Amino acid sequence: MKNRLEELRKARGIKQEELADAMEVSRQTIGSLENGRYNPSILLAFKLAKYFGMSIEDIFIYEEDSE
Amino acid sequence: MKNRLEELRKARGIKQEELADAMEVSRQTIGSLENGRYNPSILLAFKLAKYFGMSIEDIFIYEEDSE
DNA sequence: CCATTATGTAAAGTTTACTTTCCATGATTC
DNA sequence: GAATCATGGAAAGTAAACTTTACATAATGG
């Protein structure tokens, strides 16, 4: 799964830490998502979608058979 | 988080086991989602959405501060 | 230069999603 | 009323998401 988090965050002009605080997760979690180290839980995906005013599908790009 | 899995599955006239096979998860996983014992991973949510031809948001109902 | 700021990443631990195995129950159906 | 079928759910284990701590580095500002 790919995602547009870094792009969307930078468009908002905020730091990883600010986004992390808004989502109530650690800065490392945001960094890990931006750099593809793992996928978000569905709850975090919903929170991020709400924060950016978009759908989950607009932020996270599902690819067949992705890990 | 609530979801419409049982309703959607029954509308299709299929068993938990058949849905599980299509999603490549165990029957117990489908049962656990239908009965709210836990939330799906985002990958499974994407697979289910694709299977039912709907968006994740149409199947899974995000509620503020849900576990 | 030096201090600070933003980010990358790793290690070790906790929590949660998911598996396999197992048993129980209600609804057929024979 | 015994056998089968669909579901519920528990227990124990594995895998992945997430936390805290820690350190490294590049960029910037004084």
Does any domain span residue B43?
yes
User: For the segment B11-55, what is each residue's pLDDT rounded down to a tens digit?
Assistant: 999 999 999 999 999 999 999 999 999 999 999 999 999 999 999
Divide the 67 residues of chain A into consecutive groups of 10 and give the mean pLDDT of each group: 96 96 97 97 98 98 81
Number of domains in chain B: 1
Q: Which of B54, B5, B63 is nearest to B30 (CA)?
A: B5
Collect all residues with Cβ–Cβ distance below 8 Å to B12 and sequence separation of at least 6.
B52
Q: β-pairing, A60-61 with B60-61? A: unpaired
Q: Is the CB of A35 under 7 A from strand D?
A: no
Strand runs (DSSP E) across B8-63, as ranges?
A: 60-61
Answer yes or no: do A57 and B62 touch at CB < 8 A: no
Does any domain span residue A67?
no
Does any domain span residue A63?
no
Q: What is the pLDDT of residue B64?
A: 81
CATH number at residue A30: 1.10.260.40
Does any domain span residue B66?
no
B67 pLDDT tier (thresholds 50, 70, 90): low
Q: What is the pLDDT of residue A53?
A: 97
Answer yes or no: do B40 and A45 touch at CB < 8 A: no
Q: Is the CB of A32 under 7 A from strand D?
A: yes
Q: Provide the residue range defining the domain that includes A17.
A: 2-58
